[in-house]
Amino acid sequence: MKGVIDALGALDGLLMEMEKVDQDKNTMMDLLSDISAVSQESAAGTQQISATVEEQAGMIEEIAKMSEELSEIVNELNKEVKKFKF
């Protein structure tokens, strides 16, 4: 009878350890889920920053083009003004 009681006690201890392992597994799964969510948010933020940088680069190119055009207009205007100088 003592052997059966000892076996039941060992089985009870084993069940408690299995519950602890299951709880630890659930905790790890929750943490991994949180890490995954943060990673996805970070990726989305990075994509948004990249899109903004591309947009700003396009605007800078447009400003540079307009600046060149303005410079050409100023040169033409200076040529026309020189025609009227004595």
Give the three-state DSSP class for 80.
helix
Give kind and range of the element (H or E) at residue 29. helix 2-83
CA distance linking residue 16 with residue 12, whole number of Å: 6
* Domain boundary assignment for the chain: 1-86
What is the pLDDT at residue 86? Answer: 62
Whether residue 67 is predicted with pLDDT greater than 90 in this model: the reply is: yes
Q: Please give the mean pLDDT across all residues of the chain.
A: 93
Whether residue 44 is predicted with pLDDT greater than 90 in this model: the reply is: yes
What are the percentages of helix, strand and coil residues in the chain, rounded to 5? 95, 0, 5
CA distance linking residue 11 with residue 4, whole number of Å: 10
The verdict on pTM exceeding 0.85 is no
* Token representation of residue 28: 């790890």
Residue keyed to tokens 């200076």: 78
